[in-house]
Structure formats: structure tokens, C-alpha cells
């Protein structure tokens, strides 16, 4: 039995296989409509979510399975003090697979050690969000036709942005990837990502405060939200929240085949005027997320493809 807690739990071959399966699901949805018949997914969400929870739930429903779960901690017995481990053991009696989001780093890992069914980390604090990374990878692969030889700009909150940390980790596995880190001084990428991933693997990167300066070089622009919920000090959040706002004017110097991604939700960092630009991929990204989660559920349940 396998869980997915960190993107490093998957080999590059497995990631490529998941993308290929998701592409096949997109091309032949009927072939997969009964693959998880009689299987149940439990979505245990201790933190708010729109895309990840509903995407997991639609993924299981489209595989012919069913869904149970809770969408806020207060509607579960954790409000009475039940531990994550006891919850995971309990839910193992009712479901075949768990998707868990939790504000505390490491909570899905604790759940996976207690559960007797696979656990998928659907986001743990500022730490990891591996299924968002799979979503980002399939989006880049479909939009660019490759995952190698690209300049990837990551912009916004690079300190607390769990999706950025996992994306850098995953994209670093492919040949010819360069990163441009665009952030305010206070929200730069953590040292452990710099040292353990970029420097260790000798991946070229530059750092800048200016989105406009970086723009002409980019093949991918990955925008992120400055996350109010990660700040201890509201004044710092207010000062930093609008550091970068992508507008049609700022895209004037961008490549014609740039792909703009964002894990969403957005607040103010991409003007809605950008949504009509052919380079805006963030709503397609949401849709691809469902297909890659279908592929992942099948893999972890060891359902024959």
C-alpha cells in the first residue's frame, strides 16, 4: 500500500506515467467510467479548499466510485480533540483511500502511518501540495508539449508558497530547466529549497524583485497569491499583498507562447483582464487537475488501467 505525501514519493517515470494516463482519460473518458466502482474516497479537509477537494471528489465520481468526508475541522470529532492518527484509523474502516488537507505540516504523513489505506496529501500548511504539482506538470506538458528546456518564472510568495516548493522540486528533474525567482525581499525562497534542490542539483536560477525585467525570458510564468493565512502579522500581509499584479500591459514584452499558470485561488495578483489572453492557462489547469487526480487514485488503489 502506498501513500502520496511529497512529490518525491514519485519517481520521474511514475510522474510521466500519471501524465500519460491522464491524457488517455481526457481522450477516452468512457474507458475509465467504472474503474473505481464500489471504491470510496474520504476527503478529510481541516482547511478551506474549493479546487482540490471538489477536484478529488469529481475525480472519484468520474471513476464510478463514491465519496464521503468533511470539509471543515469543526464538523469532525477533531473539534472534540480527536487526533489525526485516530481519525485516519477510523476512516480506514469506512473508505478505500483518503485525501487530507491540514494546516499543520506533517499531518498527512502522521495520518498515513496510522491508516490502513492510502493517504494523499492535499496540502499541509506551508509545506507540500503534491497533487497541485502534478496538476502543474500536466498543464505545462499539454500547453508546451514538453517538460524540459524551459525558463520558469515563479512570482509572488515564494517563502510560504507550498506549490512553488513542490514545483521547483519536480521541474528540477527535467533537462535544461532554469528558474527565475521573482519575489519581495521578505518572501524569497526558503534556504532548504535553494540548497537541497537548486544548488545540490546545479540548477541555474536568478533572483529578481522585478516582474517586468524577468518577463521577456520566460516560457512559464507561475503566479502565486500572498497568503494571508500564513502571516503572523496583518501589517506585513497588507504591505506585501499587492507586490505583483499581472496586467495586460506587463505582458507586452512576454513571449507569444508564454504559459501563465496559477494554482488559484487568486486574490489580486492577476488582473481579470488577463483571463482573455490566450496565454492564460489557470482555468485549464483546474480542469487538468481532475484528470491527473483520477490517474493518481487509480495508481494508489492499484486499479488496472
Size of the site for ligand CP (CB under 6 A): 9
Q: How many CB atoms lie within 10 A of CB 76?
A: 18
- What is the Cα–Cα distance from 132 to 7, expressed in whole angstroms? 10
- What is the Cα–Cα distance from 209 to 275, expressed in whole angstroms? 24
| Minimum distance of ligand CP from residue 63's CB (angstroms) | 20
Question: Does 224 participate in binding ligand CP (rule CB under 6 A)?
Answer: no
101 belongs to the catalytic site: yes
102 belongs to the catalytic site: no
Positive or negative torsion for Cα 50, 108, 226, 10 = negative
Binding mask 127-166 for ligand CP (x = CB under 6 A): -----x----------------------------------
| Minimum distance of ligand CP from residue 216's CB (angstroms) | 28
- Compare residues 48 and 248 and give the one whose CB is closer to ligand CP: 48
Take residue 301 and report the three cell numbers written for it.
Answer: 488503489
Which residues face 280 on adjacent strands?
260
Question: Does 123 participate in binding ligand CP (rule CB under 6 A)?
Answer: yes
129 belongs to the catalytic site: yes
38 belongs to the catalytic site: no
- Compare residues 69 and 123 and give the one whose CB is closer to ligand CP: 123
Question: Does 125 participate in binding ligand CP (rule CB under 6 A)?
Answer: no
Binding mask 202-221 for ligand CP (x = CB under 6 A): --------------------
Catalytic residue among 21, 43, 52, 139: 52
- Compare residues 50 and 149 and give the one whose CB is closer to ligand CP: 50
- Compare residues 92 and 161 and give the one whose CB is closer to ligand CP: 161
Task: By CB under 6 A, name the one of 260, 264, 281, 299 that touches ligand CP.
Answer: 264
- What is the Cα–Cα distance from 276 to 251, expressed in whole angstroms? 12
80 belongs to the catalytic site: yes
Q: Which of residues 36-65 bind ligand CP (CB under 6 A)?
A: 49-52
- Compare residues 40 and 53 and give the one whose CB is closer to ligand CP: 53
What are the angstrom distances between the C-alpha of 78 and each of 65, 74, 84, 87, 102?
A: 26, 7, 8, 8, 12
Interface positions with ligand CP (CB under 6 A): 49-52, 123, 132, 263-265
Catalytic site positions:
51-52, 80, 101, 129
Amino acid at each position: 500500500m502506498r501513500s502520496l505525501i511529497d512529490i518525491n514519493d514519485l519517481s520521474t517515470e511514475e510522474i510521466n506515467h500519471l501524465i500519460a494516463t491522464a491524457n488517455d482519460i481526457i481522450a477516452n473518458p468512457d474507458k475509465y467510467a467504472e474503474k473505481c466502482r464500489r471504491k470510496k474516497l474520504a476527503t478529510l479537509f481541516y482547511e478551506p479548499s474549493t479546487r482540490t477537494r471538489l477536484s478529488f471528489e469529481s475525480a472519484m465520481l468520474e471513476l464510478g466510485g463514491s465519496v464521503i468526508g468533511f470539509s471543515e475541522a469543526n464538523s469532525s470529532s477533531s473539534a472534540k480533540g480527536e487526533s489525526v492518527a485516530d481519525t485516519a484509523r477510523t476512516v480506514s474502516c469506512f473508505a478505500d483511500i483518503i485525501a487530507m488537507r491540514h494546516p499543520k505540516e506533517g499531518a498527512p504523513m502522521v495520518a498515513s502511518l496510522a491508516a490502513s489505506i492510502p493517504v494523499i496529501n492535499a496540502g499541509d500548511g506551508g509545506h507540500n501540495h503534491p497533487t497541485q504539482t502534478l496538476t502543474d506538470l500536466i498543464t505545462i506538458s499539454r500547453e508546451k508539449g514538453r517538460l524540459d528546456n524551459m525558463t520558469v518564472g515563479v512570482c509572488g510568495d515564494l517563502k510560504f508558497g507550498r506549490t512553488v516548493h513542490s514545483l521547483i522540486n519536480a521541474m528540477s528533474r527535467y533537462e535544461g530547466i532554469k528558474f527565475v525567482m521573482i519575489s519581495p525581499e521578505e518572501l524569497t525562497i526558503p534556504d532548504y529549497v535553494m540548497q537541497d534542490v537548486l544548488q545540490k542539483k546545479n540548477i541555474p536560477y536568478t533572483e529578481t524583485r522585478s516582474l517586468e525585467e524577468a518577463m521577456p525570458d520566460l516560457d512559464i510564468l507561475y503566479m502565486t497569491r500572498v497568503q494571508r493565512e500564513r502571516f503572523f502579522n496583518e501589517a506585513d500581509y497588507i504591505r506585501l499583498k499587492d507586490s505583483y499584479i499581472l496586467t495586460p500591459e506587463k505582458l507586452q514584452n512576454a513571449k507569444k507562447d508564454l504559459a501563465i499558470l496559477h494554482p488559484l485561488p487568486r486574490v489580486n495578483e492577476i488582473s481579470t483582464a488577463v483571463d482573455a489572453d490566450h496565454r492564460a492557462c489557470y482555468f485549464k489547469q483546474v480542469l487538468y487537475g481532475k484528470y491527473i487526480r483520477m490517474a493518481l487514485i487509480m495508481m494508489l488503489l492499484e486499479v488496472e488501467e
